[in-house]
Structure 1
Amino acid sequence: MSKVNITPLADRVLVEAAAAEEKTASGLIIPDTAKEKPQKGIVIAAGAGKKDEPLTVKVGDTVLYGKYAGTEISVEGKDYLIMRESDIFAIV
């Protein structure tokens, strides 16, 4: 897990997306143009939550989120997603 100097505000979380699958279950190599956008990642930082609504997720949780959830940002050469906690479907 990486250390980033970003503190999300309110109910937002910073997620590092998992790597996209390189091969299919049968062993076929997936080209870059056909790779699916990952929908799983690790929470790197979390805000304090809204007033009277603390966050459910915490730093280090592996989460599942929507395919088009969040906003992609790049910090120190690494790509992250910043999204609202409501965009997260589950903690794995």
Structure 2
Amino acid sequence: MARRLIPALNRVLVEKIVPPAKTNTGILLPEKTTKLNSGRVVAVGPGSRDRDGNLIPVTVKEGDTVLLPEYGGTEVKLDNKEYHLYRDDDILGTLHD
């Protein structure tokens, strides 16, 4: 049975994207060119509440590719896969093709 984590409040569950270490033709890429700290959003929480009790929704949605800070997040292991939990306001932005 696969477990599913639904983040609390304004937290976002992210699976980090590991860039390829070499091209399709077998050329090894330097580590600096492959180091974009990004991930795919797997799940999002409902959001947090302001002082008046109004819901502030999370700004990203499942499936988004996001730019992550170099440090931070909480590592979570589910079914032998590694994920990271971030607060919505820790995510630096979304990446688009």
Per the TM alignment, residue 37 of structure 1 is displaced from its structure 2 partner at its CA by: 6.7
Shift of 1:17: 0.4
Tell me how many residue pairs correspond in the alignment: 85
User: C-alpha displacement at 1:20, in angstroms?
Assistant: 3.9
> Which residue in the other structure is 2:80 paired with?
77
User: Normalising by the residue count of structure 1, what TM-score does the alignment of the two structures yield?
Assistant: 0.78
2:37 aligns to what? 39
Q: How far 1:29 moved relative to its partner?
A: 5.5
Structure 1 runs, 4 residues or longer, greater than 4 Å off: 34-38
Alignment of 1:2-81 (within 5 A): 5-23=4-22, 27-28=27-28, 39-51=37-49, 52=54, 53-81=56-84
Structure 1: 5+ residue runs without aligned partners? none
Which TM-score applies when normalising by structure 2?
0.74
Greater radius of gyration (CA) = 2
In 2: Cα distance, 1:66 partner to 1:23 partner: 24
Percentage of pairs with the same residue: 40
C-alpha RMSD over aligned residues: 2.3
The CA distance in 1 between the partners of 2:3 and 2:94, in whole Å, is 21
